[in-house]
Structure 1
Amino acid sequence: MTRARTLLTFVGAAVVLAAVLTGSAGAAEEADAANPAPPVVPALQQWTGGTGALELRPSTRVVAEDDALRPVAERLAADLAEITGWPTTATTGAARRGDIALDLDPTAVVGPGTALADREGYRLDTTGAAARVTARTTTAAYWGTRSVLQMLTRETPGTATLTRGLAVDWPNTEIRGFMLDVGRRWFGHEFLRDYVRYLSWFKLNTFQIHLNDNEISPPGGDWSQAYSAFRLASDDPRFAGLAATDGAFTRADWDRLEDVAADNFVTLVPEIDAPAHARSLIAFDPSLGLNGGNSDHLDLSKPATTAFMKEIYDEFAPWFRGPALHVGADEYPREYEPQYRAYVNDIAAHVRGLGKEVRAWGSLSVMAGGADGYDRDMTMHSWNNGWYGPKAAVADGYPVVNTNDAQLYIVPFADYYHGHGLDGRWLFDNWEPHVFPGGQSLTPGEPLLRGAMSAVWNDLVHADYDAADVHGLVEPTFGLLAQKMWRGTEGGTSYADFMADVTALGVGPGMETLTTTLPGAGDRRLDLTATALPPLIAGESATVTATVVNRSEHTLTGLKAAFDTEAEGLRVTPAGSRPKSLRAGESATLSWTVETDAATPTGAAKGRITVNGKLRGLTVAKNTGFDVRTIEAAPDGLRHLAFDATASASSVELDLDRLAPSRANDGDLGTRWASGYSDDEWLRLDLAAPSQVDSVRLFWESACATSYRVEVSTDAVTWTTAATVDTSSCGDETVALDSPDPVRHIRIHGTKRATTWGYSLHELWPFGTPTA
């Protein structure tokens, strides 16, 4: 990808640029010949391109010119060895030709002169005989090494190159983070360690770990039957039985995670959440809970409750090496506000006494109508405008972290918030850390805005998904959010080009189990695209076609391709002939036949096509992914009519693409259409051909219709009622139609809603027989 040369303007720009940029006015006239900025994510703040490339070889060393940088040099050497396949040495002393040098210089100009830039900014110079990273701190030098690794291009097994030029790079935002709820779902130690490395790959520096929680609603109102977990296992007998049995940190486990975090310059922020979300604590000691212990809210009227929480923080605060501890403090019943205020103030002071900065979920608008009487020495995560919006928090003097639920929450596979991942296109076009919905955006550069953090909340404690599934939801916007938190919006770059950069970078080196899920991941010298696969109806077959293009200047040899999917009830076989090599610029078409059997169930999975081969002896690979949706057979003697129909609707909730009408006939029960918030709304399917329609099957979301009509038409102008449902069962509902003549259009017309929301359908499947 080609990026325009970028120079940021800041106070004292003339002096700074004179100090950090090579070249002259004459060099500017030759800008067309200069190297464009390399595709680093987050994008470099400043880049002055040289010409050509700096070649690295197996003899390349990583040289720490300051002893304090020896650990960073060792880490870079290990990562280089993994990427290149060469054993790479880390050493101290003076760099020689072809080396990578790391240097600390307390006077280096590494940005606009802010405290944050001085602390985390670096210079990366690849114009000389050796590559050189210069910084004022070890943290900043480490960020420079991530850019070195992302810049690497490999052409043959014995060489790698770095684009020649000079970069000056620094973050705009102090806290650049991600939060993972392990209280409701355990992910395993390997995954958590890998996620520390993954944050670091994109220069994110804060990993908040939500360590206790419970399911949202107890079965039958009985909280003793609700899932809950506390994820820290003390060896103190006082806390025997508190830790979850399906996954928890021992002190040794947490120490290992802290070690990995330190190696990757990521700060862990543990969260022990109370006085709400506290079922695991009440299960340990029912006397701590409201309603005689049948609650997930602590009873703050009892001094023993606050005393117990202080013991919890006393026990575990020494485990935590980072400066901050998050105390939760959200979603407690408003009726107990006086006790809540006393608790928050007491716990905040106590945690500070343990040497920790206090962070909390902003809740003061709902709880108290403001901050009067509340401890002011806390950082507030502004997670919901209603509970405590950013403008109110800033007006009250609180530092703020943007963790806004409407924009940044993923609840895996839920039908609220972002159940299938954040909206990447919207974030790319609209979001930066100061942006909040509902007119609550802060002024860019607001001094009390400390940063931002996306979050995964595992509300659906009984749903069938795992860590890899969550990673698949997080990864598509992870690098994008890192870009916005470090540098902000990068002009002149399209969303598609930016995501191509993210995809090419993968998850970074050093992983234990984590791999990329992004379609198109792999070597930039190959292009691979696949045709969309239509919904596969039981008993039918389809063809998947992919095109691979060799974008390199050399012949690709040993071409191989594979199709993989976890979808049930499928048989996949290669179709057609395949070349074994591709000349420079040449393309090839690859095909597979996908067959279902009569018992194939309805479901959704991912498919992936992978190709690999060799360029000048170097193994290269590329993959692309797509949805595989299987559909159970239609009733005997009938056919599915939905999947080649065109959907439209009277309205779409908030005009969100993820709730568009087409989501109701895409064959995926995990997506849905949603209307505006009124009774008189409709969803329509225009059939591919006139058809005799026998019945319709509706898959309602909880926002269903209590009553509705099924209407049919031949011209989409005059409508006839084919069925009236006065008392809907919601859920999965099949309705027989009185429609003796062929029709071209079918409409579900709501007359009364079951909720205050609109209507929402996961799928609408008409069954019948085409007559033309």
Structure 2
Amino acid sequence: MVTENETFHRTGPSRRALTAGFAALAAGGLGGPLAGRATAATPPGPAGAPTVVPALREWTGAQGTFEVTPATRVVVPHGDARLLALARAFTTELEETTGLRLRRPGSAGHRPRAGEITLAVDPSDHHPRGGERYRDEGSRLTVTPRHVSVTGPAYAGVVWATRSLLQILTGSPRGDALPAGTAVDWPAYARRGFMLDVGRRWFSPAFLRDYIRVLSWYKFNDFQIHLNDNEIEPPDGDWSRAQCAFRLASDDPAWAGLAAADGSFDRATWDGFEDLAALHAVRLTPEIDAPAHSLAFVRFRPDIGLDGGASDHLDLANPAATAFMKDLFTHFTPWFRSPVVHYGADEYGGPVEQYRGYFNAMAAHLRGLGKQPAAWGSLGRIGGTADGYDKSVRMYSWSNGWYGPRAIRKDGFEYLNINDATLYIVPFADYYHGDGLDGRYLYDEWAPHVFPDGQSVPPGDPALHGALFAVWNDLVHEDYDELDVHGLVEGTLGVLAQKMWAAAPAPGTGYDAFQERVAALGLGPGLERVRNTSG
């Protein structure tokens, strides 16, 4: 039996440092047999639908087209400030897409007028096939030769319909005509996202703003930002020389010196991310990772570190370590508008009792701050059973070995698929898809319920919220920049958007044709730094 005073270092393969055998699986074994294959969430989609990624779920064509002209005006119900802000942004995007200078947005009348594009939220709108997913993010888009109408039960659905309109224009021969018809659209899963590790490598604010826009372009709704981390193995075993960073910079003197010197986000910059994300219906999920991967905190407060600070672990035998993390979350959580805050909790090598106490204490603390706690699933390897753990924590199923989806599901947690063998990129590494994810496999074989090694779960499992893919910047000394990372991500953005949205390939479209479609649509308007490299 271990005692609270015993200390342990991390052992076994890491999320970021694979064993040779597992590296071989990640690099080349994903095309093999799986317990579950991608299964269509709905019957085959509509024939003759305009080109949109992800593909429209329902389309009924009609005669004629709506022409976008300088007289076109985007209108919203009087007094709806949020939709008016969207209308302004959408008008700017229409101008960039069509090359036409349009009229300023305004308020809609009782009846649509010629040349108007109406955006409206109608909470009573519903769709039997779409169900809850339609109520949260669905939309009806009706195009006639005279006017265009967009309606959704919630704001997000209206945003997604504007993305569809822009994509249809981008793919049209003249760039200014919309085919007449009605589209009804909704996602199969609630969470569809991307995680970026900025703890090990600095990414500019412009890049993050662009990725909010790009994710919205393809109807991803979750952008998780991994805000702290450190080098996996210190140079010559010396943790004092290891790279580490925490990327939020407070103006409170109590936190002076915690933010990374090579780049961090102050409150105004973070608020700008939040404003842009809210406009584009993307949720920023912040992640602050502890009690492992915590060198930035240990360097700031050596007294809370394992082995006197010669480690990237917090010393959970020291109550000051948990108190420090509670203070940290209390200070920074008001920055975060997401209902979910991720607190890491992976790969800790200390006593099970200490880990369980920390896991539960931080979950309760975040709930007290008004947030849904989320964590990396690690209970399978840390030891013990799920008994005594806070089951309200949302688990990220990242490794079958650390805590596979079937065990997570059996133990009663809600969860997401962010499986390392399928959905991790470590730029330019010889493991975890160093050259980018396997797009053909993802398109033909994968869906959010699909996991490798016989761990797939039933399609539509109500405990499965969806999926994310991730970039981990393990190779802190490798020579690459943020645009190189974009080059690795871009190749499967459209594929993952399609499969997370519909849990099925685009109707009647093979992988190569689908990728041609994605390349033609590009990354959307309004970008500052990122550019389309696949067209």
TM-score normalised by L of structure 2: 0.89
**1:614-672 per-position Cα deviation (integer Å, ceiling 9, x unaligned):** xxxxxxxxxxxxxxxxxxxxxxxxxxxxxxxxxxxxxxxxxxxxxxxxxxxxxxxxxxx
* 1:416 partnered with 2:411: no
Q: Which residue of 1 aligns with 2:493?
A: 478
C-alpha separation in 1, matches of 2:503 and 2:162: 21
Aligned twin of 1:188: 204
Q: Identify the match of residue 314 of structure 1 among 298, 309, 330.
A: 330
**Residue 259 of structure 2 is aligned to residue 243 of structure 1:** yes
Give the Cα separation in 1 of the matches to 2:420 and 2:340. Answer: 22
- Equivalence for 1:151: 168
Shift of 1:285: 1.3
Q: Which residue of 1 aligns with 2:84?
A: 70
* Higher RCO (C-alpha 8 Å, min separation 6): 2
Q: What corresponds to 1:219 in structure 2?
A: 235
Corresponding residue of 1:497: 513
**Inter-partner Cα distance in structure 1 for 2:136 and 2:390:** 29
Aligned to 1:123: 140
Match of 1:58 in 2: 70
Contact 2:247 2:260 in 1 (8 A): yes
Question: What CA deviation, in whole Å up to 9, does each residue of 1:248-299 have, x standing for no partner?
Answer: 0111111111111111111111000000000111111111111121100110
Residue from 101, 107, 113 that aligns with 2:124: 107
Confirm or deny that 1:210 pairs with 2:226.
yes
Runs of 4 or more above 3 Å deviation: 6-10, 153-156
Q: State the partner residue of 1:452.
A: 467
Amino acid at match of 2:222: T
**CA distance in structure 2 between the aligned counterparts of 1:7 and 1:109, rounded to whole angstroms:** 18
User: 2:87 corresponds to which letter in structure 1?
Assistant: A
CA distance in 2, matches of 1:463, 1:111: 51
Aligned-partner residue type, residue 207 of structure 2? F
| Preserved contact between residue 111 and residue 169 of structure 1 (Cα < 8 Å) | no
Distance 2:128 2:95 in 1: 31
For 1:21-420, list aligned pairs within 5 A: 36-65=48-77, 67-68=79-80, 69-88=83-102, 89-94=104-109, 95-110=112-127, 112-152=129-169, 153=171, 160-333=176-349, 335-420=350-435
C-alpha distance in structure 1 between counterparts of 2:186 and 2:384, whole Å: 38
Distance 1:52 1:418 in 2: 46
Change (3 A) 1:463 1:9: closer
Query: Which residue in the other structure is 1:441 paired with?
Result: 456
* Alpha carbons 1:41, 1:202 under 8 Å: kept: yes
1:484 Cα offset (Å): 0.7
Determine which structure has the larger strand proportion and give its number.
Answer: 1
- 8 Å CA contact 1:409–1:454 kept in 2: the answer is yes
Moved more, 90-99 or 199-208: 90-99
Q: What RMSD in Å do the two structures reach over aligned CA positions?
A: 1.8
In structure 2, do the counterparts of structure 1 residues 309 and 7 end up closer, same or farther at CA, with 3 Å as the change threshold?
A: closer
Q: 1:313 to 1:260 in 2, by over 3 A?
A: same
- CA separation of 1:457 and 1:188: change in aligned 2, threshold 3 A: same
Paired with 1:242 and 1:111, the residues of 2 have a C-alpha distance of: 51
Aligned 8 A contact 2:41 2:503 in 1: no
Q: For the residues of structure 2 that align with 1:7 and 1:276, how far apart are their CA atoms?
A: 38
Q: Return the structure number with greater helix share.
A: 2
Residues 271/435 of structure 1: CA separation in 2 closer, same or farther (3 Å cut): same
Q: Distance in 1 between matches of 2:500 and 2:439?
A: 14
1:414 counterpart SS class: coil
Secondary structure class of the residue paired with 2:491: helix
Contact kept? 1:110, 1:170, Cα under 8 Å: no
Mapped partners of 1:252, 1:114: distance in 2: 38
Give the structure with higher Rg (CA): 1
Q: What CA deviation, in whole Å up to 9, does each residue of 1:465-514 have, x standing for no partner? A: 00100000000001110111111213421101111111111110111111
What is the match of residue 18 of structure 1? none
The code of the aligned residue for 1:208 comes to Q
Q: Confirm or deny that 1:512 pairs with 2:528.
A: yes
Partner Cα separation in structure 2 for residue 39 and residue 155 of structure 1 = 12
3-state SS of the aligned residue for 2:478? coil
User: What code does the residue aligned with 1:284 have?
Assistant: F
Amino acid at match of 1:449: L
Partner of 1:268: helix, strand, or coil? Answer: strand
Distance 1:196 1:433 in 2: 21
Displacement after TM superposition at 1:327 (Å): 0.3
Query: Counterpart amino acid of 2:329?
Result: Y
Q: Counterparts of 1:272 and 1:493 in 2: how far apart (Å)?
A: 40
Q: Deviations over 1:113-156 (max 9, x none)?
A: 52221121001111352111111112211111110101115655
Q: Distance in 2 between matches of 1:128 and 1:432?
A: 37
Distance 1:416 1:297, change over 3 A: same
Quick check: 1:62–1:91 contact (8 Å CA) kept in 2?
A: yes
- Secondary structure of 2:265's counterpart equals coil
**Sequence identity, in percent?**
55
Amino acid across the alignment from 2:121: L
1:105 partner amino acid: D
TM-score, with structure 1 as normaliser: 0.62
Contact 1:273 1:327 (C-alpha < 8 Å) held by counterparts: yes
SS of equivalent residue, structure 2 residue 249: coil
Count of residues paired in the alignment: 489
